[in-house]
Chain A
Amino acid sequence: MYQVEEFLNPGVLAAVLIFLIPIILFPIILLLGKKFEKFRRYSGILATSGIFISFLLSYYLYSLNESFYYQNGWFYNFTWGVFVDPLSIAMAMMVSGVSFLIHMFAIGYMGKDPNRHVYFAETSLFTGGMLGLVLSSNMVMFFLFWELVGLCSYLLIGFWWFKPNAASAAKKAFIVTRVGDVLLILGLAVLYWSLLPVIKTGDPLSIYNILKYANIVPKDQLALAGALVLGGAAGKSAQFPLHVWIPDAMEGPTTVSALIHAATMVTAGIYLVARIYPVYLYAAPWAGYLVLYVGAFTAFLAGTMGLVMNDIKRILAYSTISQLGYMLSALGLGIVASQYTISISIYHLIVHAFLKALLFLTAGAILYSLLDIRDIRKMGGLWKRMPITITAMLIGALTLVGFPPTAGYFSKDEIISLSYYFSEQNPGIYYAWILLLIGAFLTTLYTFRMFFIVALGKPKSYAAENAKDPPWVMLAPIVILSIFSLIYGIFQEGFYKYIGNFEFTLPLYIEILPFILVLFGIYIAWLFYGSSRFSAQNFARKSGFAYRIVKAKYYLDYLYTNIIADRLIVYLSYVVALFDRYIVDGFVNGIGKSFNYLASITRRLQTGIVQNYATFVIIGLIVFLILGKIMGVI
């Protein structure tokens, strides 16, 4: 890790261009598309190629195989610049690659939309923002891109702005993430003031300084900062209790869900925690436990909710949440055990990006050919009709549940085993292991529930009967991604070495425990949904109460939306407005009115009768005489 002084250095230029190119494409595509109707057809290709360039550039950075940072004055003592190390390079390659594939898919998927130029402009802006986020060298700049991708997600969720659900979902996503963001700002504030005395000069919020000096900052301050930053991460990565926005965000185009709400943006929170890992590492222990248990609990909770959804995209959304929980808990494990386990978490992040992009694209393909029917109960028997898509879906499902030898096996089970491994020295982690284990089981259950209902059985709707595979421009990314998900496992060792290795060994029965659970889960899913031996409805009816709670998403949405937002805040605002109108302003007007009233009294003194005036004079005389008497001078 060394600092590059001059800007005109190939590495720095490449790093800057990686995120600058897609950002610059945004106005270009927008204006061209606005000016010329027929350019819009090519907007997708332009965006895709631009992102491909940044993919090549990030590969170039990888090939340089050295980590450096460049920073330059921005405002006050904050700097801007790029921070290139294996972590950011890996993220950059993942983001640009996945985004490239999804853009390619979107060329077909959004092909008929009149405003596709807007879509592609915004997605390429998003990609640029995401790449800037992973490459930025300073937390303020990081936060800038952090909010930029949030904005893009807001705009893209509301891409079909005329749909009321889309508009309100966009609003919800923005405000919920905003809650996290302000916590992040406070976290940065704490970091700023805790690092300022430590570093004599320079930028307290530059990532280099944070990594370098975190170990000599008071622990409790670091813990506070970490907790606040975690709040931001929870907002972006939809961790409990701020997870409520992702399922609604599925209102946007499926490609958007694939790109932003599955593969890239939602992992920004994980990346944030991994980026300033030392802050947690040297913090007071409770911060570590917080990270771990937020992650583990989310992994479990989202799994349960995924079980009862019928909207295919929402199922995937909940699985995304739970997988993010796995990543976060992987980091948390390392923190609690004060080990360097970023590699495991990030590896699962990347695997998850592939497989979830794959699953969403397959879902997109299904929606594409089923004319936007999203309820899985209206599907069925699609395997015969769209074989390639559903096969890819199967691959994705297997990878998600971590079925060997798919990549998921190497990433997710690693985390579970890691939790067990640490829980041996540190019993506090034991419950995390339980939660993660159950989470794995639940994952299997809802994934294969979805798969069986969609793939097998009879078509339950007219659209499902004559569905067929989408065109190749959409199939190609699916195929590529499924290949990745299959074979990416072999890169595990190399990846661990690249990011920073952490090895451990466990007895075999622990190693394969998750796998056994997975088999069991698949079997149960088969019993219920594949060969309908048991009826899920009956089961749901039997476990009525629990079912209702889970179905209602644990009433969290109800609490946030209906109680806090619509009742508390809105009624409070009415009260404040009335107060403003009648008390504060009423007071001001009251002063004026009272003066007028006073005047209407005093003017009565002016009777117009001259003798009254004379009387006033005499009264004045007498009063002054009395006054003189009182003062004792007469």
Chain B
Amino acid sequence: MMEIIIQYLLPSFVLFAFGIVILFWSFITSNNRIFSLFSIASGIISFILLLLNYGANYKYFDIFTFDTAGTILSLLFVFLMVIISIATYRFNFSHSEIFYSILLFSTGSMVLAVFSNNLISIFVTFEASSIATYILAAYPKSRKSLEASMKFFVIGALSSAMIIFGISFYYISTNSFSLGLTSNSSTYILSLIFLLVGFGFKLSLFPFHSWAIDTYNGARSPVSALLSTSSKLMAFAIMIRIFLFTFDISFSNYVQIFFIIISILTMTYGNVTALVQKDVKRMLAYSSVANAGYLSLIFTLTGENALSLALAAILVFSIAYILMKGGSFITMENLEEKGTTLNDIAGLGKKRPLLAFSFTVLLFSLAGIPPTLGFMGKYFLFLSLIEGGLWWLAIIAVLNSAISVYYYFRVVMYLYWKESNVEVEKNRHIDYAVFSLAILTLAVGIVIPIIFNSLYNLWGGLP
């Protein structure tokens, strides 16, 4: 028993260990590159360890289920972490060891969170990652980032209180913290609502999204990359386990209607408001809200075929989402000093061809232009909507993505045929990081239809 569970916990423990090592190493040197190399190394190690566990489906009591979907997601988290560490190789701030160690801690706890299958473990891991990300958002303690982190923290604390309430109601109605239990009492529904509020904050669904925009905008770009992708997908995985595998059993149409409203509002709000953003980073923040809307479409589905298709599709969407959103934010990192408005990125195609090209590919992917991965993600997601009979919802979704094309391609316009005299300093590492993401976006996009079959029923803990 013990040695098996160790094998599954090891990837995240490696991250924790390295985080501590980095903290101690900072007594020896304060060289940012060493820490970055440390985190890259740890990332690679835990990546390999995760790959070894790939395909397993192992339940540790009702606390963790180590299923393949979770493995895929955590592989993505670790991969993004490595990319971030590569991109921030040239960081020159004081106490960058804090940044890296906390990056490792948060990623590790996220890795645990996507596996956890019990409200206690979910709560603990979720809160651990949230607390870590509060600190990350504050880094490097500039006024903007502090304000971002403050807002993040206040709303986060509020919603963690909501989560505890939700858990308490769940506990009251089922006398247990383990998922998958049903009840017909009204406290059960209360717990559903409170949990929805609590986790919807992390996923930045419509009424609970406001913090996200300011935080992604104010925080340092790699941090925004982490927040808008990894932690969001972690919350998403948790919500799948809670809502699809638990509440859907007895109150499916209730969940469905909630999420139809939420997803429509979220998509539309994000896309429409992004239209008028002059600041690219803020625009990306809004678009990530919109993407949360796409993600939450899965909860509107009922029916065996539709759900199994959607659960596979959501993995494709998550891969696409991590690659393109993370890449876009990391691109922003390069402009952080000069400012990230449209005028600042103008003419990037001439100054930094490689970066501009990669960013363009990522934007195409965000806009859902085939054959990029972003298109495939949306494609399979909407396919599952049609399968579930919600074709009108699918139409709303595709119209939303059609709107989004406007602001993505306006950025491309500024990249390539607008001029500005803003000087952008050269940073090879960011180029490589973003370029690798862009290439992956294209390559995986082409192979996805072939490997899509293998993405079916990878979620453990299905009722």
Contacts and interface: CB of A to CB of B under 8 A. Distances in A.
- Is chain B found bound to chain A in the same assembly? yes
Interface residues on B, range: 35 or more
B200 to A, nearest CB: 8
A634 interface: yes
B190 interface: yes
A623 B196 CA distance: 12
B10 to A, nearest CB: 37
Given A606-B214, A628-B189, A599 B155 contact: no
Contacts of A628: 189, 193, 254
Contact of B193 (A605, A614, A616, A625): A625
A617 B197 contact: yes
A606 B289 CA distance: 13
Given A610-B150, A616-B207, A634-B186, A596 B158 contact: no
Given A613-B211, A620-B197, A631 B403 contact: no
A621 B158 CA distance: 12
B207 A603 contact: no
Nearest to B258: A624
A621 B269 CA distance: 18
A620 to B, nearest CB: 3
Interface in A418-448: none
Given A595-B403, A616-B208, A621 B275 contact: no
Kindly name the residue among A599, A627, A631 whose own CB sees the greatest number of chain B CB atoms within 10 A: A599
A605 B200 CA distance: 18
A494 interface: no
B462 to A, nearest CB: 24
A633 interface: yes
Interface in B301-357: none
Nearest to B270: A602
Nearest to A613: B210
B64 interface: no
B151 interface: yes
B21 interface: no
Interface string B189-207: 1100110110011000011
Contacts of B458: none
B280 to A, nearest CB: 15
Given A602-B272, A606-B214, A620 B254 contact: no
A600 interface: yes
Contact of A595 (B194, B269, B275, B277): B275
Contact of A627 (B150, B159, B258, B272): B258
Nearest to A603: B273
B189 A633 contact: yes
Interface on chain A toward B: helix, strand, loop, or mixed SS? helix
Nearest to B251: A633
Contact of A617 (B155, B193, B254): B155
Interface residues on A, range: 20 to 34
Nearest to B194: A621
A596 B150 CA distance: 30
B79 to A, nearest CB: 31
A608 B272 contact: no
B196 A602 contact: no
B154 interface: yes
Given A596-B275, A610-B150, A616-B210, A634 B201 contact: no
B226 interface: no
A588 interface: no
Contacts of B193: 621, 624-625, 628
Given A620-B208, A621-B194, A614 B154 contact: yes
A339 interface: no
Nearest to B285: A606
B72 to A, nearest CB: 31
Interface string B417-447: 0000000000000000000000000000000
Contact of B155 (A595, A603, A606, A613): A613
A506 interface: no
A614 B158 contact: yes
B265 to A, nearest CB: 10
Interface string A582-610: 00000000001001101110110110101
B104 interface: no
Interface in B238-284: 251, 254, 257-258, 269, 272-277
A592 B269 CA distance: 16
Contacts of A603: 273, 276-277
A612 interface: yes
A619 interface: yes
Contacts of A631: 254, 257
Interface of B: 150-151, 154-155, 158-159, 162, 186, 189-190, 193-194, 196-197, 200-201, 206-208, 210-211, 213-214, 251, 254, 257-258, 269, 272-277, 403, 406
Given A595-B403, A628-B189, 7 more contacts: A592-B406, A596-B275, A606-B214, A616-B210, A627-B258, A628-B193, A633-B189
15 contacts: A596-B275, A596-B276, A599-B273, A599-B275, A608-B214, A610-B150, A610-B155, A612-B210, A613-B210, A614-B155, A617-B159, A619-B207, A620-B200, A623-B207, A628-B189
